[in-house]
Each structure stands twice: as C-alpha cells, then as structure tokens.
Chain A
Amino acid sequence: MLEDEKLKWQFKCGSPQALARIYEKYVDSLLTLAMGLLNDASEAEDVVQDVFVGFARSANGFTLRGNLKAYLTTAVVNRVRDRIRREKRRSTGRVEEPSAVAQSCGPDEQLVFTEDAGRLSEALTELPHEQRETIMLRLKGNMTFKEIAKIQGVSINTVQGRYRYGLQKLRARLNGEVEK
C-alpha cells in the first residue's frame, strides 16, 4: 500500500514511470475483472484500455485519497455498466449487423488464459449482471461487502444475498467440478 501512495504522488507529478508501474501492477487483475463481467476479450481489452487512458489524462485533477486498486476497479465496473447499457439500447433499436471478420493475430496480441478461465468466465455470464458484478468485486477486486454496497447503491444485505445466490448458481453450473 505504501508503494501505491508513492505511485499516486509521482503520477500526480506527471511521472510516466509511475504510470507504467501502476499499469504493470494492475492491468492483469483489471482484465480479469473485465473478462469476468463481459466474457468478451476484445470488449474487456477496450474497457481496460479506456480506464487507463482516462486515468492517464486525470493526473492534473487527481486527488485520490483512497485505495488505488479500488479506484481502478470501480472505473472498470462503471465502464462495463456503460457498455452494457449502450449494448441494450443498440440491440433493441435495429437489426444487428454481422460482426467483422476476426483478424488473425498471434498469442502475444491477445489475452492469455487457460481453458479453465475461459469456461469460468462463460459460466459467470449466465448470472444476472448484479450477481456477477458482486462476485467479481468480492473475489477479484478483494472488496468488502460494505464497499460493494456503496458502489451498487444497495444495502449490505442485498449485496450478501446477490453473492450467495450467485455462488449457488455457479455451483450448479460447475456441479461436476465442485463435487470432486
């Protein structure tokens, strides 16, 4: 945490090294969070890229007193919500266009993950977004229920309920694996 305090100050003073360090430190956990919420590699990359670009531009007005990781995590959550809202509007408005042909690119150009991670991310998409978000913030953002309640604007009891029901559904979805 002390390192983060120092990085925050250096970043505010315009240090590219500090920004690079913050990026290196958190990019993978933010990508994991975004993938858990979206289950779409290219969307997840865009979200995390947007968050870092926004963060990079915020140095002048940057007055973060709290936890840097929580700040970036919340930024990812907000951007994911924005995308989902936009997507809903788009999908109700018109017939979807065929998706662009995927460009072939090497593994270095992509997200790296195990088959397991891909499967878990897919299982998470079957949960309602609120439950998925709660589980990801708790397990991957290491947030307390109180912090999650604040982000979601609901009571702690509601958050705990979302978490419990979400895990139960995942358990059913991953049944064979969990029972072993």
Chain B
Amino acid sequence: MTPEDKVERILQDRLRFSAGATLRRRMLARTLDAQRESQETNPASLKGAARRTIMNSRTAKLASVAALVALATLAISLVPRFTRPAYAIEQTVEALQNVRFLHIIERDDRGLIEDERWIEIGADGFQIRYRQQNPPSVIATHPGAPLMVIEDGDSTAVYREDKRTVILYDRENKQYQWVGRLGVAFENLRQEGTILEENDEYQGRPVHKVWWPYLSAECYVDPETKLPITLGDTELSYEEPSPEIFEIVFPEGYAIVDTRPGAAESLPDWLLEESSADAKASEAFEQATHALANGDYATAVESFTIVTEIQLRRNWAWFWQGSAHCGLGQYDLAVEKFTKVLEIFEGDPCYYCNYARALAYAQLRADEAAEEDLRICLPEMVRALRIPSAGKMFEYANNPLISRGKAKPSDQEVVTHMINRLRIVSGRRFGYDPGASVEANEVAISAWEEWLETDGQIDITLDAELLPEIPGTGDTQ
C-alpha cells in the first residue's frame, strides 16, 4: 500500500461527521416545513398535474394506455423469473418505514409479560404517541418505577402506584422511548445489518435471521411481511391498537399532579425531592464519566457512588464505578460493582461486564471464577472479529466518552481492541495485523475461531503483547 493509498484510507475511514439528535431533528423539521410551504403555495398536486397533462389529447390518452399495457406485459413476463426472490435487508427497512404502530412485549422466563409498550410513529419516523405498562412484579423490584406511562401527543402521564398519583408533564419536557432514534436504527439496519441465516425456522415459523447492530440484537424476520417478529427476546407486532390505548385516564383514588406550563398548583414535596435527586444524579454522572475518561479514578468512584445511591438500577454507573475501582487497584470492589450490573441484567447477556469481571477476578487470582465469566463472553468476542458491531458494547464500556458522542470507534478499531482482549485472555496471538488487508487477516480470524471451537484454553496473560493503539483514538484497554 502506497502512502497515498494510506491517506485515502484514513480519509475514507475517519473523516466522518454526523448531526447530533436535536440538530438532526431540527434540520429535518425545517426541511419538511419547506416542503409543506411549497405545496401550499403550489396546491396543484403533481400527480394530478401529470394526469391532466397526459389526458389532454386523444393521442396522449392512447399512448398512456399503450404504456400501461406494456408495463403489465413486462410485469407478467418477469413473474416466472422472480417467483422466489432472495431476501434482502432493504426489504425489511422499507417495510419498517411504512410501519405506523409498534407493539412490543418482553417476557420473563415463565412467559409472563414484564414489559409491554405501544408506539405510534409519525411520517417523519419520530414517535408521536406512546404507552408503556409495567407489571406489578417490576414495580416491586424497581422502586419509583411507574406502573404505566401514556403520551397522548401533547402530554405525558406518569402513573405512580407507590404514590397513588398521576403526574402530568408537558410532552416536550418528559418523553419515554423504546429505541431513541428509530430513523437512525432503520438506517443502521440498512447499512450494517447482516443476514445470518436465510429461510431459518423460529418456533415452527419460517423466518430469516438478521443481525441488527444498532440494537445489538438478532432478529427474526417474517418472510411474508419482511418485518421483524422478534428482536432478541422481545416480541414485535404492528397492529393498530384500540384508540383508548393512548388516552390519558385518571384511575379512581389517584391524585393528579399537573406540572405542565400554566398549571397553578404547587408540586408535592416528594416530587420536588425526587426531581432534585435526579438532577443531582445527572450532574454527578456527568462529572464521573469525565473523571473516568481522564483517569481521575478517585473522583470517578466518588461521583458514581452519588449516582448509584440515588438511582439504584443505573447499570452504567455501577459498571464504570467498577472500572474506576480497577483503575485504583481495588479489584474486590470492582467485582462487587460488576456483579451488581449482572444482577440488574437478570440473566440477560451483558458480555462486556462478564469480560471486565473476569479480569478483576484474575487480578484477585480467582482463576475459576474468571474462567466461568470468560466462557460466557468469549463466543461473542470472537464473533466480533467478523461482525465488528457485535463488539461495540465492549468499546462503549471501555470509553465513556462514546456515550457523549466524543468518540466513535471505527470497525477497524473495534476489531483491533477485540484482538487485544483475546490476546489477554488466551495468551495467544495468531498474527493479526491491523494494517493488513482483510484477506491477509482472514487467516488470523479463522485461527481465533478454530481456537475457540477446538481448544479455547484460557490463559489470562495480563502482560500480553498488544497491538498498538490506532492513532487518534485516545482509547485504553
């Protein structure tokens, strides 16, 4: 590779800018406004105009009929060739873009619903109305969690069973979401989604199995509708719910607290205390992530402690607190915090946390416990060598600045870092070279896969020779 080729590659890989969520939304809103204004000042629809133009003369009418006959003939002649078209992810993206309602259900091990949501999606891809319902078992284990949340398009109603109160917010001030940016998630599926298995089977149904990087999940796609029917453990369906699903109602015996602009009433003390605690936690979290990124582990521990005292289930606060303890050499405390994260996940995969806890165990010379954790996360780590997006949560865990949009590791960086992690846990190398071509590295990746398949012997080598950091990432392993 010539130096000029390298410059080309650097520019292609690393020169990337994207709009932050609010900016993106604002720009899109202006664009759609411009379209609307333009349509208002030119009310004759183009479809109508085209039709009128075509139908103005007899010759044109005949020509248009001929064109339609030709199109129909072409369509018929194409049918036999494409009776069983191959599945393409683009079809799923397109199908999702036409979806207006989503019904989402998560179940626990016993098949009982533990999270249920309905979403109405607008033409611009943003959420319009929303409802989330948590079963009593979740409320019992998540103090302060609402029994239900309803957004009717103008207001957000939060149903707090513990306080027997419905709190009304202006929707601009409080919004709940399932997936933050649906449009971005769809685009990510189009660009980075991978078909893992075509014509597979799921619970007796024919499906296509697809990897969706943005959501870090495998999904099963219905071959007929092209829509995902499951996403990880989440069931998805697309029926329009009954209208009352998005209607805010006030159960008997519940107090109403209206926080919307113009509401005259004063807020109860408990709500003021909660709001102030949340603000304190947010501020502490912000400070803590920056301290951790700067290597100021003592401050990070202190600030993350403030967060976890207020928000008991804030998994990233617990995780990064564990990372900060590692930085201070307090591996027993790190194990405690990582364990807390895994408890919050309640058996759902959290591979980066298993990996982090394994290293902390290794420092404590608890080799068996370390190996147990590594057995859980190793397949995912090796998988990330071919599907880098599978390793992105490891990157996120490793660098809190990613959550602030201040770092965005490339696929090359994800794979290089993962190779380093594999070197640490196995003491093996297999000759991967970040600067080499995909073909040249194929041998090394296959060797890692074979190692996992056949041997997979764990030999934690904390001083393993690591691949050099790719310049400019400022990342640490």
Spell out A's residues near B (CB within 8 Å): 3, 12-14, 16-17, 19-21, 23-25, 27-28, 31-32, 35-36, 41, 44-45, 48-49, 52-53, 55-57, 59-60, 106-117, 119-121, 124, 135, 139-140, 164, 167-168, 170-171, 174, 176-180
Q: Once the chains bind, are A180 and B471 in contact (CB under 8 Å)?
A: yes
B15: contacting residue among A12, A23, A140, CB under 8 A: A140
> Which residue in chain A gives the minimum CB-CB distance to B90?
A3
Q: What is the bound-complex CA distance between A114 and B239, given in angstroms?
A: 41
A-B contact pairs, 8 of them (CB 8 A): A20-B125, A32-B18, A48-B27, A60-B38, A108-B23, A110-B20, A139-B12, A178-B10
CB pair A53 B30 closer than 8 Å: yes
* Closest chain A residue to B407, Cβ basis: A114
With A27-B27, A32-B15 as contacts: A20 and B4 at CB distance below 8 Å: no
Distance in angstroms from A54 CB to nearest chain B CB is: 8
How far is A13 from B48 in the complex, measured between Cα atoms in Å? Answer: 9
Task: Name which residue of chain B comes closest to A142, CB basis.
Answer: B12
- Dominant secondary structure of chain A at its interface with chain B: helix
A107 touches B32 (CB 8 A): no
A109 touches B472 (CB 8 A): no
Q: Which residue on B lies nearest to A41, using beta carbons?
A: B17
Q: B47 at the A/B interface (Cβ < 8 Å)?
A: yes
**Across-interface contacts of B10 in A (CB, < 8 A):** 120, 174, 177-178
Cα of A12 to Cα of B6 in the assembled complex, Å: 41
Known: A23-B28, A167-B7. A57 touches B34 (CB 8 A): yes
Interface string of B45-72 (1 = CB under 8 A from A): 1110000000000000000000000000
The reply on B263 being an interface residue by CB < 8 A is: no
Known: A44-B17, A49-B31, A114-B406. 10 other contacts (CB 8 A): A12-B46, A13-B47, A14-B45, A32-B15, A52-B30, A59-B38, A108-B23, A112-B17, A113-B18, A164-B4
The answer to whether A178 touches B3, judged by C-beta atoms less than 8 angstroms apart, is yes
Contact check: which of B11, B21, B46, B472 meets A135 at CB < 8 Å?
B11
**Is A20 touching B90 in the complex (CB atoms < 8 A)?**
no
Q: Determine whether B74 belongs to the interface, using a CB cutoff of 8 Å to chain A.
A: no
| Contact residues in A for B7 (Cβ distance below 8 Å) | 167, 170-171, 174, 178
Q: Which residues of A contact B36 (CB under 8 A)?
A: 16
A17 touching B20, Cβ below 8 Å: no
Q: Is B19 an interface residue (CB 8 A)?
A: yes
Q: Please, how many angstroms separate the alpha-carbon atoms of A114 and B17 in the complex?
A: 8
Q: What separation, in Å, do the CA atoms of A22 and B253 have in the docked complex?
A: 49
**Which of B7, B10, B94, B404: most chain A Cβ within 10 A?**
B7
A46 to B474, CA, bound (A): 31
Among candidates A13, A139, A180, residue contacting B46 with C-beta atoms closer than 8 Å: A13
With contacts A19-B35, A52-B31 known, is A107 near B15, CB below 8 A? Answer: no
B22 close to A108 (CB less than 8 A): yes
Give A45 to B23 CA distance when docked, in angstroms: 9
Q: B124 at interface (Cβ–Cβ under 8 A)?
A: yes
CB pair B39–A28 under 8 Å, yes or no, is: no
Residues of A contacting B408 in the complex (Cβ-Cβ under 8 angstroms) = 112-114
B339 interfacial contact with A, CB 8 Å: no
Could you say which residues of chain B place their CB within 8 Å of the CB of A31? 17-19
Q: Does B8 contact A (CB under 8 A)?
A: yes
A111 smallest CB distance to B (angstroms): 5
A117 touches B3 (CB 8 A): no
A177 vs B6: C-alpha distance in the bound complex, in angstroms?
A: 9
A23 touches B16 (CB 8 A): no
Q: Is the CB of A114 within 8 A of B472?
A: yes
Distance in angstroms from A14 CB to nearest chain B CB is: 6
- Chain A residues with Cβ below 8 Å from B16 are 28, 32, 113-114, 117
